Amino acid sequence: QAKRDGRAHYQYFSPEMNVEMLARMHLEQRLRKAVKLSEFYLEYQPIIDMRSGAITSVEALIRWQDPEFGLISPEDFIPIAEETGLIDPLGEWILHQALTDLAQLHAQGLMISMAINVSGRQCINSKGISFYNVLKDALAEHAIAAKYIHIEITESILIEDKPQCLQILDAIKQLGVDIYLDDFGTGYSALSYLTQCPISVIKIDKSFIDKVLVNTSDKKLIKAIVMMAKNLDLPLVAEGVETVEQWDFLRDLGCDYAQGYLMSKPLSNIKLLAHLLQAKPFDYLTLPTELAAV
Ligand code: C2E
Ligand code: MG
Ligand code: MG
Ligand code: MG
């Protein structure tokens, strides 16, 4: 903000800002070190087909356990990684770790697919290499068919970033990797993007799911989103389903997939393997009665 002011040279920082900036610089330093030392791990959250109850895919979610700060939310450090360019090495680490873990599941005969979050800054890396090439090479290296991977992007990638991004996304889609629109409803929601971009699936943001049973107007909004998606032939994933009531409401509306703490929290790769090996095609349909018994 200081820079936008014409006489920015004489801007003073408030004490709070100094503390904030110091904390942020410190976090940035730690992040730099963490990237060098790979102090991250991935967790995987199941995504469930609301009709069959089967787990069809898992979303890879990054975790950073800092010795000083403890567990730091990706909401806090991904933006810093994006601003500093650290997202390049971090994004590649995420991709390779996710594919390594997926190859291991496939080796056990668990042929699920995996969602990887990709930020706009990853479209073209600092060496000028497009994410299309990075992804294509990684798939070949790990011997994973493109259909088992999809990437999650947010609207901002389509709006703020370079027009090349759209071409890169098109190429990725051509490769056989589906593109999911994450956090739907929180951004600019220029609906024309839904048909102009190679989007295969829409993920409705948790903030809508939270309000789905509380607020009548939000109920109507969700209904409208589901109807719109159906008309566009775009399957829907509901994010952050925490209650049986939400599950029932969304399933009855015709929502296709659900992800949330009700079914499973994000799991380590070891716990995920155990979970998948013991999961029968949908325990969750019987969950309401099970819960009622508790
Ligand atoms: P997202 O991609 O929308 O991921 C969904 C978030 O909702 C995850 O938070 C997940 O743990 C959380 N969640 C899922 N179900 C529930 C629920 O029932 N209740 C509650 N309270 N939360 C639920 P997480 O893991 O903290 O990630 C936050 C965001 O950070 C992600 O939002 C994504 O934007 C970003 N992120 C996470 N991992 C990566 C990554 O590997 N790469 C990039 N670029 N971004 C990532
Ligand atoms: Mg996501
Ligand atoms: Mg989301
Ligand atoms: Mg999000």
State pLDDT tens for residues 179-221: 999 999 887 666 777 888 899 999 999 998 998 888 788 888 8
Please check the confidence at residue 13 and state whether its pLDDT lies above 90.
Answer: no
Both structure tokens of 229: 């998606």
ipTM confidence score: 0.98
| Residue closest to 101 by CA, chosen among 114, 86, 117 | 114
Quick one: how far is CA 63 from the chain centroid? 13
Pocket test residue of 61, 237, 259 for ligand 1, highest count of atoms within 8 A of CB = 61
Share of the chain above pLDDT 90, in %: 66
- Determine the pLDDT at residue 260: 96
Average pLDDT, the chain: 87
Indicate which ligand has the atom closest to the C-alpha of 204.
3
Q: Which residue has the higher pLDDT, 194 or 137?
A: 137
Residue pair 239/203 in contact (Cβ under 8 Å)? The answer is yes
Query: According to the model, what pLDDT value does residue 192 have?
Result: 78
Give the residue among 216, 210, 180 at the shortest CA–CA distance from 197: 180
Measured from the Cβ of residue 49, the count of other Cβ atoms closer than 10 Å reads 16
pLDDT tier, 40 (very low <50, low <70, confident <90, very high otherwise): very high
What is the Å distance from ligand 4's center to 183 Cα? 5
Model pLDDT for residues 56-106, shown as the tens digit of each residue? 999 999 999 988 888 999 999 999 999 999 999 999 999 999 999 999 999
User: Residue 113 and residue 258: Cα distance in Å, rounded?
Assistant: 15
Residue bearing the bigger pLDDT, 280 or 63: 63
Residue 74 beta carbon below 6 angstroms from any ligand 1 atom: yes
Tell me, what's the pLDDT at 290?
Answer: 46
Average pLDDT score over residue span 106-126:
94
pLDDT at 285 over 70: no
Residue found under tokens 């995920």: 272
Long-range contacts of 103-107 (CB under 8 A, 24+ apart): 103/142, 103/143, 103/144, 104/269, 104/273, 105/272, 105/273, 105/276, 106/144, 106/148
When pLDDT is averaged across residues 106-130 and rounded to a whole number, the result is 94
In this predicted structure, what is the pLDDT of residue 4?
A: 47
Q: CB of 62 closer than 6 A to ligand 1?
A: yes
Shortest-distance atom of ligand 1 to CA 152: 2
Task: Identify the helix (H) or strand (E) that includes residue 184.
Answer: strand 178-184
Cα–Cα distance for residue pair 90/124, rounded to 1 Å: 14
Say if residues 62 and 79 touch (Cβ distance below 8 Å): no
23-38 tens-digit pLDDT: 888 889 999 999 999 8
Nearest CA to ligand 1 atom 5: 239
Average pLDDT over residues 141-157: 95
Question: Is residue 286 over pLDDT 60?
Answer: no
Residue 242 CB less than 6 A away from ligand 1 = yes
pTM assigned to the model: 0.91
- Banded pLDDT at 272 (limits 50, 70, 90): very high
Q: Look at ligand 1, atom 7, and give the residue with the nearest C-alpha.
A: 240
Q: From CA 142, how far away is CA 130, in angstroms rounded? A: 19
